[in-house]
Structures are given as structure tokens and as C-alpha cells.
């Protein structure tokens, strides 16, 4: 049993820790939807809470309570709708102002476009001292006409209201500069990306993953002679799914395509592509998966033919799993994939080039694919390790808050 003196010291120690935590700067982090906290940013807010008082804000959804439990943090509900929605955005800004007045943070940090607009404008109106927005991907470079002008105006407004602007990668930074979105300094954190990868979790050597891949192989009736391509992401037209399915359709019969991700109802792929997915017995649409590692373990190559990206996490995860990647030569992808080194780069919106490279990958010796995979994991570990990114985030916030 503990003596009275020991209990007194323990109580005093706990009290001092509590007092120190209450003195720590308050930070509010926002995303448009809770899925971003539950997947990409999972674990990061909880880690940051060791140094700061962290509160999260995101749209109400079933996953909100899951995020609150997983991170051990308070998550406040702010309805935010993707897309252009002036009336809904005004309501979101009013609600965010209420949240900021309640929390009174010294720093706010928003991710994703709509959360950026709502949070930065509300924080500017509330005069929050430090206002950080991370551009995780730009929509306007691939938009046209009046829609492009509106999107540019919105991003300029976000930058005007921000005190610090973080492009997720060098490609995003170049586009912000090229289109004259802001004259403020642009700071990429580390080598880019907003989360990093836990290479101990995304590891082909981890026990249990091979068994999961084997089970999936049996379930999908995939044979040893088959060559498996894997796509991970929302089935969205900007992800290049139409080009992927078109390119795949002319590949040899032993080619298999696994699609991991739900259909994006806000920008779904065309009906013809969906029909080809449903009718081709070599294509397996698995929908959303909480754990994508078995699918990556089963695959020979990951394919990501997006039209635009900020800094796609899936190519980091695939690389960590020693998987070569075929990706489009766009922002983010070409900051990780080096053609012929750890994968291949192809032009966006080009099904013919994509099909040619996919066929070339099928004809590559197994030893070449394995060596590419080894180099991919080494690069991810060196540049994008999650624990290192989390420490960089603490350093980043500390400098901004002068703590």
C-alpha cells in the first residue's frame, strides 16, 4: 500500500501536470468531414494534445463520435457542405464563430477547401491571433470558366484571412504562385504531406497481413498466374477511374483490377464506366475498407491515374508496403514517384499511355518489381515517417505561438 506521503506526492504531481496542461496554448483544428480525422489525420491530434490544448471541429456525422473516442479530445459539430453553397456556408461561418468564442484558441488550423473558407473567415472575424490553412489540393487548376474564377476568388479569400499558408507539397505551392492566389510566404512542412505514414503499420512484414491478403485472394478467386492492379480512393471522375477501366479492358486476360473505395456521389464516374466495372469479371469493386493493407499486399502494382491531387496518402501507404506505383505526372504524385525508380509516371487523362505502362509492368521481371518496392519503402521511411511529421507539427505550432 502507498503511504500517505506517497499519495500526497502523487496527487501533487498530478495537480502540477493538470495545471501545466491548462496553461498550454489552445489550438482548434478543423476539417470539412470527420473522415479526414478518422483516416488521414488519425492519431495526430491526440499526439499534439501532449503539448497543447487541442479541440477539433468538423461536420456532424456518425464518425464524429468515433473520432472523439479515438483521439480522446472534444470534437465540436460545425455543419459544412462540400461544393458551392453560399447560404449553407454563411450558416457554417456563424456556427464556427460560436465555436471559436466558446473555445477561444490562440491558433486555428484548417484542412480541406470548405473547412478553410469557413474556419479562416470566422477566425479572422474573431481575431484569432494565429490562423493557419493547409491547401491539401487545388481544384481550380482543372476547372474552367466561371467555376474556376469562383474557386480562385475563394482561395484568395482564404489566404487573405490566414496568417500562415501551408501548401501540402511543392506542386501545390507552385500553382498558388502561378495563379497569383497570394503574395504571402508559402511554407511546405518537411517533404510535404499532412500526415506521414506509420511504416510499422504499413509493413509487409507485419504478422497477420499476409493471412488477410491470402483470404482476400481466395474470396476473389485470384490465381497465382494473375497480375493484380489495385486502385484505392473514392470512385470520383477526377480520380481517372474512366481512363483506368478503359486501359485495363485491353490488358491480357490474367490482369486483375481491385477497386477499393466508395462511389463518390458528389462527382461520380460516368454510367458507362460503372457498367464496365459491374460487367467485367476481372474487376472487383470492394467498396470502402477500414484496413486497405490486405488489398495492397495482394496487389502487384498500385495505380492512381488522378487528374489532380494535393499529396496522395495512398501512394505513401503503398510505397511503405513495398508496392510499385503507376501514377499520373501531377502535383504530389511526381514528388514521391520517380519514373523507373519506385514506379512509373504517365500523362493524366491518357488511357492509351496508361494501358501501355500497365502492360509493361505486367511484363517486368518479378525481381524488378521487388527492387522497385524495396526502394519505395526506403524513400517513404526516409522522407515521410509519421512520427517525424508529428514532431515537425509540434515544432511548427510552437514557433508560431512562441512557446
Q: Any idea what the CATH number is for the domain that residue 217 is in? A: 3.40.50.2000
Instruction: Please give the pLDDT value at position 7.
Output: 57
* pLDDT at residue 22 greater than cutoff 80: no
Examine the domain organization and report whether 275 and 321 are in the same domain.
yes
Instruction: Please give the pLDDT value at position 142.
Output: 77
Q: Report if residue 319 sits inside a domain.
A: yes
| Cα–Cα dist 256/226, whole Å | 7
Examine the domain organization and report whether 215 and 350 are in the same domain.
yes
Q: Report if residue 306 sits inside a domain.
A: yes
* pLDDT at residue 21 greater than cutoff 80: no
Cα 303 to chain centroid, rounded: 16
Instruction: Please give the pLDDT value at position 23.
Output: 84
**With contact defined as beta carbons under 8 Å apart, do 358 and 303 qualify?**
yes
Q: Report if residue 202 sits inside a domain.
A: no
Q: Report if residue 218 sits inside a domain.
A: yes
Task: Compute the mean pLDDT over every residue in the chain, rounded to the nearest whole number.
Answer: 93
Examine the domain organization and report whether 357 and 332 are in the same domain.
yes
Partnered with residue 229 across adjacent β-strands are: 257, 301
Examine the domain organization and report whether 69 and 133 are in the same domain.
yes
Q: What percentage of the chain has pLDDT greater than the value 90? A: 84
Q: Locate 65 and state its grid cell.
A: 463520435
Q: Report if residue 203 sits inside a domain.
A: no
Examine the domain organization and report whether 299 and 347 are in the same domain.
yes
Instruction: Please give the pLDDT value at position 403.
Output: 77
**With contact defined as beta carbons under 8 Å apart, do 116 and 181 qualify?**
no
The pair phi, psi for residue 283, each rounded to 5°, is -105, 130
| Cα–Cα dist 296/301, whole Å | 8
Examine the domain organization and report whether 65 and 190 are in the same domain.
yes
Q: Indicate the number of domains in the chain.
A: 2
Examine the domain organization and report whether 183 and 243 are in the same domain.
no
Examine the domain organization and report whether 89 and 173 are in the same domain.
yes
Examine the domain organization and report whether 285 and 182 are in the same domain.
no
Opening angle at CA 193, ends 172 and 261, nearest 5: 100
* pLDDT at residue 164 greater than cutoff 90: yes
Q: Report if residue 363 sits inside a domain.
A: yes
Report the 10 Å Cβ neighbour count for 82. 15
By the 10 Å C-beta count (0-12 exposed, 13-18 middle, 19+ buried), 1 is classed as: exposed
Mean per-residue pLDDT for 226-236?
A: 96
Edge to edge, the sheet with strand 325-328 lists: 283-287, 255-260, 227-232, 301-304, 325-328, 343-346
Mean per-residue pLDDT for 106-115?
A: 96
Examine the domain organization and report whether 215 and 189 are in the same domain.
no
**With contact defined as beta carbons under 8 Å apart, do 240 and 349 qualify?**
yes
pLDDT digits (tens, 9 = 90+) for 206-218: 988 999 999 999 9
**With contact defined as beta carbons under 8 Å apart, do 381 and 192 qualify?**
no
* pLDDT at residue 12 greater than cutoff 60: no
Q: Report if residue 128 sits inside a domain.
A: yes
Mean per-residue pLDDT for 148-175?
A: 95
**With contact defined as beta carbons under 8 Å apart, do 187 and 385 qualify?**
no
Examine the domain organization and report whether 148 and 230 are in the same domain.
no
* pLDDT at residue 74 greater than cutoff 60: yes
Mean per-residue pLDDT for 21-40?
A: 92
Partnered with residue 231 across adjacent β-strands are: 259
Which pLDDT band, with edges at 50, 70 and 90, does 83 fall under?
A: confident
Instruction: Please give the pLDDT value at position 384.
Output: 96
Domain assignment of residue 118, given as a range: 4-196+386-401
Examine the domain organization and report whether 374 and 301 are in the same domain.
yes
Q: Report if residue 288 sits inside a domain.
A: yes
Amino acid at each position: 500500500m502507498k503511504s500517505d506521503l506517497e499519495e500526497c506526492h502523487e496527487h501533487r504531481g498530478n495537480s502540477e501536470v493538470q495545471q501545466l496542461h491548462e496553461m498550454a496554448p489552445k489550438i482548434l483544428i478543423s476539417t470539412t468531414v470527420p473522415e479526414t480525422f478518422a483516416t488521414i489525420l488519425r492519431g495526430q491530434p491526440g499526439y499534439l494534445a501532449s503539448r497543447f490544448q487541442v479541440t477539433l471541429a468538423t461536420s456532424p456525422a456518425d464518425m464524429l463520435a468515433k473520432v472523439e473516442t479515438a483521439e480522446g479530445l472534444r470534437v465540436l459539430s460545425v455543419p459544412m457542405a462540400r461544393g458551392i453553397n453560399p447560404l449553407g456556408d454563411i450558416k457554417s461561418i456563424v456556427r464556427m464563430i460560436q465555436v471559436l468564442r466558446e473555445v477561444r484558441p490562440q491558433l486555428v488550423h484548417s484542412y480541406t477547401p470548405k473547412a478553410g473558407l469557413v474556419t479562416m473567415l470566422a477566425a479572422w472575424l474573431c481575431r484569432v491571433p494565429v490562423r493557419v490553412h493547409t491547401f491539401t489540393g487545388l481544384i481550380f487548376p482543372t476547372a474552367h470558366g466561371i467555376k474556376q474564377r469562383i474557386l480562385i476568388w475563394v482561395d484568395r479569400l482564404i489566404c487573405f484571412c490566414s496568417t500562415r499558408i501551408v501548401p501540402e507539397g511543392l506542386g501545390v505551392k507552385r500553382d498558388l504562385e502561378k495563379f497569383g492566389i497570394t503574395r504571402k510566404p508559402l511554407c511546405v512542412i518537411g517533404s510535404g504531406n499532412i500526415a506521414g505514414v506509420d511504416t510499422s503499420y504499413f509493413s509487409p512484414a507485419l504478422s497477420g497481413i499476409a493471412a488477410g491478403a491470402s483470404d482476400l485472394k481466395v474470396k476473389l478467386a485470384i490465381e497465382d498466374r494473375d497480375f493484380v492492379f489495385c486502385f484505392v480512393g473514392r470512385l470520383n471522375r477526377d480520380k481517372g477511374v474512366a481512363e483506368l477501366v478503359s486501359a485495363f479492358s485491353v490488358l491480357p486476360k490474367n490482369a486483375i483490377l481491385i477497386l477499393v473505395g466508395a462511389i463518390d456521389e458528389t462527382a461520380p464516374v460516368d454510367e458507362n464506366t460503372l457498367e464496365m466495372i459491374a460487367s467485367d469479371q476481372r474487376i472487383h469493386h470492394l467498396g470502402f475498407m477500414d484496413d486497405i493493407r490486405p488489398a495492397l499486399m495482394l496487389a502487384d502494382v498500385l495505380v492512381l491515374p488522378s487528374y489532380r491531387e494535393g499529396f496522395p496518402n495512398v501512394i505513401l501507404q503503398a510505397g511503405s508496403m513495398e508496392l510499385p506505383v503507376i501514377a499520373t505526372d501531377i502535383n504530389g504524385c511526381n514528388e514521391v514517384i520517380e519514373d523507373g525508380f519506385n514506379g512509373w509516371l504517365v500523362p493524366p487523362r491518357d488511357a492509351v499511355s496508361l494501358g501501355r505502362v500497365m502492360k509493361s509492368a505486367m511484363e517486368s521481371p518479378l525481381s524488378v518489381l521487388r527492387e522497385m518496392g524495396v526502394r519505395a519503402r526506403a524513400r517513404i521511411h526516409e522522407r515521410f515517417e509519421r512520427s517525424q511529421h508529428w514532431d515537425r507539427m509540434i515544432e511548427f505550432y510552437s514557433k508560431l505561438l512562441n512557446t
